[in-house]
Structure 1
Amino acid sequence: MPSDFTKDPDPYLELQESPEDLGDEVQKTNTELEKLKRQLEDIEKQKQRLEELKRRQDELENGRIDMTDKLTRSLVTVQREIEESQKRLEQLNQIFNSFTQHLRYIEGINAKSWGTNELPKELSKALSAVEDARADYAKALPKITPDLPVEAAPAAAGYEAEYGYAEERGFVYWLKSGVAFTLPLWVLGIVGLLVWIWSISTGTH
């Protein structure tokens, strides 16, 4: 009885394809490989696009958080600056109105038009007006020139307290400042008094 081995020959020994058929299969396989490569390249490009979108999305979120924080804090600072500017504007308007009134009154003083009888009264009134103008000017000077050194504006030193620039000064300082402030008034007063006395003396003879 013949063996089974002789009945079932190796199937690889029974190739039905010709060499031409193998070449077609190789070509077909290469075509499939090229197709897979292109698909892989497309997938890689898609991956890169997605990664770029993710990077930009993260950049947007980080930038949004950063600028939200900065703008929020800056708005508080800007609001505070606006309030300070409004206060300063109000102060400057008050100073402007005060200076304007003083200037109009002082420019309107005409000592030559005063008669002998009204000279003492008008002189005292004018000197008082000049002193008031000097005091208001000294008060306002630190506000209109905040960067001005104290030594460059000695007249303002006695009025710094009202405008937030108060400093402790000694008695000697205030005594010297008082003399310096009132010396011109004393000179004007003495001259006016002498003119008045001379006028009265002249009228009695």
Structure 2
Amino acid sequence: MKEPFLDLSNGDPPSPDELDSQVQRAQEQLLQLKRQQEAIEKQKRELEELSRKQDELEQGRAEMVEKLSRSLVVIERQTYETEKRVEQLKSSSLAFTQHLQNLERINPKTWNNGDLHKELSKALSAVDDARAEYSKSMTKINAESESEVLDPINPPDFSDYPEDGQFFTWFKRGLAFTLPIIIFGIIAIAIAILFMAHTAFAK
């Protein structure tokens, strides 16, 4: 039980010893109250810090759960696209390797004259197949790249070869130049034959 504070209501002044004792008890009570106040303030600060950390935990947890969940979706999509592109590149690599081997095996020097047309058609078909595969892969690969990975194929240049109309034009011109020579040669041969026959008949 706490000691009462200094009480002078009875009208009798306390003795010096009693006064000192009451002052000492009052000081002790004040010190105790001060300690209790400090303890309460400390507990208050701890509770406030605990509450702040709990709020920080909830906010941070909610933020990271959302970010990680959304990031996983993005990563899964990117992983799928990357795996799909890797498979496409592998498929194109295998196809290019096969077509390259087919084209490198083409050697016109080994063709027989009797099979020339067949071998030539077969070789041209191999070139067309390689060109078609390259064009198909080029479109897909370049479309999914930031820059142009594969060079486009330029169309074959047949400008050095005469067109059908030009061929017949040059054929007619050549025939016009050579026909008189051919006729002259035929006439000369005919005259020579007649001369030889006449000489033989005269003998």
For residues 114-153 of structure 1, the aligned pairs below 5 Å read 114-145=111-142, 146-148=145-147, 153=151
Give per-residue Cα distances to partners, 1:22-65, cap 9 Å, x unaligned: 01211221121112111211111111111111101011111111
**Any unmatched runs of 5+ in structure 1?**
1-10, 156-179, 188-205
Name 1:43's counterpart in structure 2.
40
What's the TM-score once normalised by structure 1's chain length?
A: 0.64
- Say whether the 8 Å CA contact 1:106–1:130 is kept in structure 2: yes
Matched, 1:78 2:51: no
Letter in 2 for 1:77: V
CA distance in 2, matches of 1:42, 1:14: 39
RMSD: 2.6
CA distance in 2, matches of 1:130, 1:183: 15
Letter in 1 for 2:132: A
Letter in 2 for 1:28: R
Give per-residue Cα distances to partners, 1:125-169, cap 9 Å, x unaligned: 11211121112112211333433359x9443xxxxxxxxxxxxxx
Deviating runs (4+, > 4 A) in structure 1? none
- Say whether the 8 Å CA contact 1:99–1:133 is kept in structure 2: yes
Given the alignment, which residue of 152, 157, 182 partners 1:183? 157
- The structure where helix makes up a greater share of residues is 1
Identity of aligned residues (%): 49
- Say whether the 8 Å CA contact 2:138–2:152 is kept in structure 1: no
Q: For residues 13 and 40 of structure 1, do their structure 2 counterparts lie closer, same or farther at Cα, with a shift above 3 Å needed?
A: closer
Structure number with bigger Rg: 2
The Cα of 1:120 is off from its aligned counterpart by 2.1
Tell which has more relative contact order, 1 or 2 (C-alpha 8 A, sep 6+): 1
CA distance in 1, matches of 2:45, 2:77: 48
What's the TM-score once normalised by structure 2's chain length?
A: 0.65
